[in-house]
Structure 1
Amino acid sequence: MRGVAGAEAGGRAALPAALRAGPPADPALLRVRALRHGVRVDEPMVLAVVDVGDADRTRAQREAARLAAQSGGLSGTRQGSMVLALPGDDALRVGGTIQQRLGPVTVGVAGPVTTVTAWAGAYREARQCERALLALGRAGQVADQAHLGFARLLLGHSGPAELDDFMRQTIGPLLDYDQARGTELAATLDCWFEESGSATAVSRRLHIHPNTVAQRLDRITTLLGHGWREPARVLDLRLALRLWRLRESFDDGVGPH
């Protein structure tokens, strides 16, 4: 088994080269270098990008190095975040293991991948997931692209403030109305979009009378204005509603942890 010092050296030597944009210049050299540290890079590997937040960064890096050493992986840093490449065929499970060892850190995961040439793409995907979690205000959680979907692409460089501003400007009146009166206008509009504008389908899905659907749509028009059905507005509304649903799923404990 490698020591912690060996794991740290392996992370510094192999990870930066393997994660740079584009395919590695010499995959065979990277493979040999990793094998020197006991890492079999052609076995399924999960890439994880970790934001330690307010935690002790030195301790987190030390624990990451130990975890990599014990599991036959690599650890290092890139673009201000910790990066781990760990063996495994379940990305979320690997992310959970990282949290168990490092504490309540934020972890974006991707993979598994089976070739060193795929590491760079998996790293970018994991980093997008990490940034999206932070933008959603979900620090201290784990997620992969399967749960975040398109949000990881749109939120990868946004912060919570930008996300809040977008949601307030787009569906804020609905959320305020729902909170003040205990109604479900946002959920009704989301369902209306998903059912391609069929009031009958919305009625069946939400178990409410068709007249209630019509009344809610009228109220939505009053709050959002008559132009909310225009294509440009629809795109923004659907995006805002999807982000709202994502936040709700984490609050309800549905999203990955």
Structure 2
Amino acid sequence: MTSVIALAGLALEQNRDLDRARGHLRSGLLRSMLAGDVELASDVSAEMWGPLPADPVRVVIADLPAATADRMTEFLELRVDDRDGRLFFGRAGDSVVVICEDEDRGIADEVAGEFEVPAGVSDAGPLADLARLHEQSLRSVERARETAPAVVWFDDISRQGVLAFLARTDARAVARATLEPLLEYDRAQGTSLLDTTRTWLEHGGQFDATAQELGVHRHTVRSRIALAEKLLARDLSGFHARADLWAALLATE
């Protein structure tokens, strides 16, 4: 009995060592693919697990808490076996990176739901363009962490446009300073100058459309915008000034 227990313990330790070695191999192959060497990763993966996912692929990045790292790895290994290798994953720091075929993109919801972690999903694209897809997934998981656990798709945030990212940068402080004259005036006078300016920008600077939405006369809108220009010390008749002000509004919202 003692000998059996000793042999079982040795076998378990060897299995742990093998799992660690397999994990290191996966991480190394992932770095190789991100560096552009997909051929090497394809050859090794074919020998170890099966072929890499076929185009088009998506990249899924999910947080990997230390407490659930082993369980998540086992979870993904089982998914790899179910798909004859046509799903690849590797660890990258405190995250796990999953490369899957487009039709298998539901793996993101599985991981996020099972382990209650944020996950980001890239657009679909060729495996040869993995570095770009990886960058998209990074941006997506950053957004997902704000409402974790959640799954965020890059397509959803890309539709919001580049300016939407300003709210998640140091531009917020600059934006608040830009809008402060309007905010201070509204606080002191009990007016809605900032709201009028926002609505006016939303309607492309059209006074009639803005007046209709606000339920006021167009001359009232004109006078408010003129006052806003005076307080901001800028001419809002040009595109650049309007774009800058709109960006400030987005950054503070």
TM-score band by shorter chain is 0.5 to 0.7
Q: Does 1:19 align with 2:31?
A: no
Deviation of 1:177 (Å): 7.0
The residue that corresponds to 1:97 in the other structure is 110
Q: Unaligned stretches of 5+ in structure 2?
A: 1-15, 81-86
Deviation of 1:31 (Å): 1.9
Whole-Å Cα distance in 2 between the matches of residues 229 and 185 of structure 1? 17
SS across alignment from 1:112 = coil
The one-letter code matched in structure 2 to 1:69 is E
Equivalent residue runs for 1:121-136 within 5 Å: 121-131=132-142
The residue that corresponds to 1:166 in the other structure is 174
Q: Does 1:5 align with 2:19?
A: yes
Equivalent residue runs for 1:6-85 within 5 Å: 8=23, 11-20=26-35, 23-24=36-37, 27-35=38-46, 36-38=48-50, 40-51=52-63, 57-72=65-80, 73-78=87-92, 81-85=95-99
The one-character-per-residue Cα deviations of 1:105-143 (angstroms, maximum 9, x if unpaired) are 3x3320223x32122110012113334566xx5554433
Cα 1:75–1:162 shift into 2, 3 Å: same
The residue that corresponds to 2:100 in the other structure is 86
SS across alignment from 2:208 = helix
SS across alignment from 2:59 = strand
Whole-Å Cα distance in 2 between the matches of residues 31 and 44 of structure 1? 15
Whole-Å Cα distance in 2 between the matches of residues 62 and 176 of structure 1? 54
The residue that corresponds to 1:237 in the other structure is 245
Whole-Å Cα distance in 1 between the matches of residues 178 and 229 of structure 2? 13
The one-character-per-residue Cα deviations of 1:163-205 (angstroms, maximum 9, x if unpaired) are 431331233555677799997655543443343311112234x
Greater Rg over alpha carbons, structure: 2
The one-letter code matched in structure 2 to 1:169 is A
Between 214-223 and 117-126, report the one with greater CA deviation. 214-223
SS across alignment from 1:111 = coil
- Do 2:23 and 2:91's aligned partners in 1 also have CA atoms closer than 8 Å? no
Q: Greater share of helix residues, 1 or 2? A: 2
Deviation of 1:81 (Å): 3.9
The one-letter code matched in structure 2 to 1:221 is E
Cα 1:41–1:138 shift into 2, 3 Å: same
The one-letter code matched in structure 2 to 1:16 is R
Deviation of 1:50 (Å): 3.2
- Do 1:65 and 1:74's aligned partners in 2 also have CA atoms closer than 8 Å? no
The residue that corresponds to 1:209 in the other structure is 216
Q: How large is the RMSD of aligned CA atoms in angstroms?
A: 4.1
Deviation of 1:100 (Å): 0.8
TM-score between both structures, scaled by the size of structure 2: 0.66
Cα 1:141–1:238 shift into 2, 3 Å: farther
SS across alignment from 2:123 = strand
Cα 1:225–1:168 shift into 2, 3 Å: same
Cα 1:216–1:121 shift into 2, 3 Å: same
Whole-Å Cα distance in 1 between the matches of residues 196 and 171 of structure 2? 22
Q: Unaligned stretches of 5+ in structure 1?
A: 248-257
Cα 1:143–1:10 shift into 2, 3 Å: same
Cα 1:225–1:18 shift into 2, 3 Å: same
TM-score between both structures, scaled by the size of structure 1: 0.65
Aligned length: 228
The one-letter code matched in structure 1 to 2:137 is A
The one-letter code matched in structure 1 to 2:30 is L
